Every structure is written in structure tokens, then in C-alpha cells.
Amino acid sequence: MSTFESLNLSPEILADIRRAGFEAPTPIQAQAIPPALTGGDVIGCAQTGTGKTAAFAIPIIERLAGSAGLRALVLAPTRELALQIQECFDGLGAGRRVSAATVIGGEAMGPQVEALRRRPAVLVATPGRLLDHLERGNVSLGTIRILVLDEADRMLDMGFAPQIERILKHVPLDRQTLCFSATMPPEMERLVRGHLVRPVRVQVGPASRPVDKVSQVLYPLHRDEKTPLLLSLLRGGRGKVLVFTRTKHRADRLARAVGDAGHRVARLHADRSQSERRRALDGFRAGQYRVLVATDIAARGIDVIDISHVINYDLPATPEDYIHRIGRTARAEASGLASSFAAPEEGDQLRAIERHLGQPLRRERARAR
């Protein structure tokens, strides 16, 4: 088994890695860090929950130590993911004195402008807000040496391709590009061919399949049976539970029902303010809330290592969204459970998911206790 010491890292970052509680590199970290340290382009493709953030943060910190001014840009699809990337840089960059700042939508521009004026080494951003700052002249990307596209497939799914192309026009061609993703659809291949130079491809496991340690079960039922079954599963289980719904309205309604049943619950969706979303996610991570009810906006933005159960109250629109949802459990080598509720009108989504998996989901009879 490889160790962080075997990756030729500096004593300073090794000390921060130990303080962060990392014992040994995950497979994606062990394979992606060495080529990234050399300055070459890298494509890292791996299942969710495998440690991709540290796989690019560690080589960036090592390469930028001692540099002045903005040198690295990390693009992420959601606010939550951007904030978690910031936390990773804060934890691992202290010893090498590599600072990071984050610009995301939903927060005031003023504090972000002040953070940019402090000339961080790393800028973590969502595409829309970064373009706002570029158009206002608040930031220049002409000194960028390293570009990261994190959860690149999700950014394409969310329609960010035109914004990414506009941003790339501001970034020097003479740069290192690191592209990390859970899947590699054709749109991703086109992006890679257009913007990466002879990249090293690192793939750990079947990138479009769920993590191996997730037990998956399906409950065929009628729509009016979903809430009673959910409350029954919450009563009979332990640990943190993440519940996915298709709409913001349903998330609000379901969170009220869960709270009325006596469970500590928070909501996460696009109509919540950024401060409300941050409080919900921080409270869920800290154990203040046992249940988090969320729409798909959170599927790529939640990195909580001890979620024991993901429940698909509504089946997602695509098999890829199913993979990203259930990847919120069984993180950091842990095991987890993913339960999906399927009403008759969701038959098309179910068939698509099972075709993608290459096998049927294990059926259980819905019994609300």
C-alpha cells in the first residue's frame, strides 16, 4: 500500500495531511498526485467519495509554495462543493502558506472583492459568479498557471459549457489543466480534446458505477405510501440520513412532515439563501440535524463522510443523477445503504437506472411500521 511519504511530498504538507486525519492516500490520490506534481495535464475519473479534492489540492499546494499572487483557479458546479474545496485548501495549505479564496453566487460581492484584493494563491469559483467578477474588473486570470475543472461532467450537465468556454478565454494557454470527474460522457471527451494537452488519464474503478460498498434496495409502492415508509425507515434506523426529492416544494413539505414526527431535520435547495444552505449543511455535518432533505442541487455538493443512508424519495431524472445521489453514502471507505422509492409513474426512470447498472435493484416490500 502506498503512503503519502512515498509521493515525495514536503514535510510541511505531510504535517498538514496528518493533522487533517488522512492516514494513507486513496487510489485516485496515489495515481493522480505524482503526474500532477510534474506539471502535466491530468484527467482523474473515479467514483464519488474517493478523495478527488485532495488529489488536486495537494499537488497545487506543493507547486505553488513560495509563489506570489493568483496562480490557480478551481471551477466547481455548486456553491456547496466550492466551499468544501476551500476547506480542503485551508486545512492542507497552511504549512506551505498557500491561501485560497472563494467566489460563489448567493453571497454579497463586497467581501469577495476584499478577498480577491488580498491576492490569494488559489481561487475557487462557480462559473457564473466568476464571470460577474471578470466583467466588473475585480479579478484578472492572466497569471493562472493551474486550472482545475472539478466535477466537470456535472458542470456540463448543468449547462455551464458556454460559461466555461468564456472563462477559458481569460486563462493563459500555457497552463496545467487538471480535470476531475465521476463519469466520462461524450461531452467531456470533447472538452478534454479541446483544452488538455496529452493528459495522463487516471481511472479508479468503473467511473460510471456506484461505489462498491453501497447496498441498494428498491421499494415499489404508490406515491401516497412514500411518506409513511420514509418515517418508518427513520424510526427503524440510526445515523445520518440524506433524502432526495425532485422538487423544492416537495422538499419543504417533506421536511415539515419529518420534523413533525420528531426528527431533527434541515432542508437544502435552490430557493434557500446561501447562509441558510450553509447552516443546513454545517448542522447536518456536525450532527445538529439527523436528516437532510435535499434536491439534486446537493448531489455533488455534499461531502459528509458519515451519512449512513441515502433515500431516493423520488427517483432522479437520469441514471447519472442516481449514481451521484447514492455516492453521498459509503464515503471514505465506509459502507452505506441506498433506498429508492418507485411509484408506478416512475417506471421509465427505474428501467433506465437498472439498464445503466446492468442488473435489477433488489426489491423489498414497503412495510410502514
How many angstroms separate the CA atoms of 178 and 193, rounded? 13
Answer yes or no: are the C-beta atoms of 33 and 82 closer than 8 Å: no
Pick the CATH number of 5-204 from 3.60.21.10, 3.40.50.300, 1.10.150.80, 3.40.50.2300: 3.40.50.300
Instruction: Give CA angle at 82 (81, 87), nearest 5°.
Output: 95
The model scores a pTM over 0.85: no
Give all strands of the β-sheet with 240-244 in edge-to-edge order. Answer: 265-268, 291-294, 240-244, 307-312, 336-342, 214-220, 362-363
**What would the grid cell of residue 18 be?**
496528518
What is the pLDDT tens value at each position of the chain, 369 positions in all? 689 999 999 999 999 999 988 889 999 999 999 999 999 999 998 766 678 999 999 999 999 998 889 999 999 998 888 998 999 999 999 999 999 999 999 889 999 999 999 999 999 999 999 999 999 999 999 999 999 999 888 888 788 999 999 999 999 999 999 999 877 777 778 887 888 989 999 988 654 445 557 899 999 999 999 999 999 999 988 889 999 999 999 999 999 999 999 999 999 887 888 788 889 988 998 999 999 999 987 555 666 778 889 999 999 988 878 887 887 786 655 568 999 999 999 999 999 999 888 889 999 987 755
Residue limits of CATH 3.40.50.300 in the chain: 5-204, 214-363
CB 346 within 8 A of CB 316: no
CATH fold group of domain 214-363:
Rossmann fold (3.40.50)
CB 216 within 8 A of CB 362: yes
